[in-house]
């Protein structure tokens, strides 16, 4: 058996619990494919995507204004397991509020997006002591990133209420297919306010946001949770042929083909 075939045989089947929203799921899969050290079809990962956009809104649930998405998230995780997944990734930050229930139902490893992003931030040089968080109100209120970063001695800076509402408006617009300059401007303005408040890195803590933000988009490093999750999947999924390895050192946002790493 060739080295490539041996490596492929050791890889885990990746399940993607998606649909929140569909465009963010597509962005995650595109980044996973682009970042995989592959030279032919057979070098890529076996990926099963369950993209169910009918899963109830996570922010509405956390704020007490909508139904609990846990049953739908659990059902999706179980479908992935039945389909043969060995590992699950969820390209939706707000869904991680319900991560414990998903893990109990799945019985297989489920990656923690906030933990992966916090670990990536701690590897920046110099490591930031304060990071600004752009995310849904559910993710902010649940403290997912606060816990992950504070465990590493990093403080999370939140937008003020006015800027948080602009971020939510931008997220809703992106979900509706608007990736235009007005949406980009709202997100950029919120990030700039966080930098003025002392943030030395910006976390794109909603998987819609990387669709309108790139690595050169701010004066400080920008951490793209979607890209970081894709890299974590590649790391956890198994071995790849040595001859086709590419550097995985960058964790900052990219749009399209990988851009140069920008650190300040």
Q: Where are the domains of the chain?
A: 3-112+228-244, 113-226
Contact 263, 221 (CB under 8 A): yes
Contact 10, 239 (CB under 8 A): yes
Q: Look at residue 240 in the predicted model and tell me its pLDDT.
A: 73
pLDDT digits (tens, 9 = 90+) for 9-50: 578 999 999 999 999 999 999 999 999 999 999 999 999 999
The owner of tokens 């179980």 is 78
Q: Look at residue 4 in the predicted model and tell me its pLDDT.
A: 53
Q: How far out from the chain centre does Cα 142 lie?
A: 16
Q: For 156-191, b where at least 16 C-beta lie within 10 A, e where not — what string? A: bbbbeeebbebbbebbebbbeeeeeeebbebbbebb
Residue 96 CB burial class (10 angstroms; 0-12, 13-18, ≥19): buried
CATH of 3-112+228-244, one of 1.10.12.10, 3.40.50.1860, 3.40.50.720, 3.40.50.300: 3.40.50.1860
Active site residues: 92, 206
Q: What CATH class has 113-226?
A: alpha beta
CA–CA distance, 110 with 183 (Å, rounded to integer)? 32
Please choose, from the candidates 94, 199, 210, the residue with its C-alpha nearest in 3D space to the C-alpha of residue 149: 199
């Amino acid at each position: 058996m060739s080295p490539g075939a041996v490596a492929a045989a050791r890889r885990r089947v990746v399940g993607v619990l998606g649909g929140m929203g569909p465009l963010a799921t597509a962005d995650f899969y595109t980044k996973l494919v682009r970042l995989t050290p592959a030279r032919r079809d057979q070098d890529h990962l076996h990926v099963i995507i369950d993209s169910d956009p009918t899963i109830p809104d996570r922010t509405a649930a956390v704020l007490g204004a909508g139904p609990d998405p846990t049953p739908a998230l659990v059902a999706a995780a179980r479908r992935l397991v039945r389909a043969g997944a060995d590992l699950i990734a969820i390209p939706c930050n707000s869904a991680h509020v319900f991560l414990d229930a998903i893990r109990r139902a799945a019985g297989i490893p489920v990656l923690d997006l906030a933990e992966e992003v916090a670990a990536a931030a701690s590897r920046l040089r110099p490591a930031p002591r304060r990071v600004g968080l752009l995310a849904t109100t559910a993710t902010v209120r649940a403290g997912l990133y606060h816990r992950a970063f504070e465990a590493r001695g990093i403080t999370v800076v939140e937008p003020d209420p006015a800027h948080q509402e602009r971020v939510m408006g931008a997220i809703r617009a992106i979900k509706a297919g608007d990736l235009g300059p007005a949406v980009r401007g709202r997100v950029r303005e919120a990030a700039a306010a966080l930098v003025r408040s002392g943030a030395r890195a910006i976390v794109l803590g909603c998987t819609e946001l990387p669709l309108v933000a790139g690595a050169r988009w701010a004066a400080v490093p920008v951490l793209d949770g979607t890209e970081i999750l894709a890299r974590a999947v590649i790391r956890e999924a198994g071995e790849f042929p040595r001859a086709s390895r590419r550097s995985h050192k960058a964790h900052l946002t990219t749009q399209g083909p990988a851009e140069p790493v920008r650190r300040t």
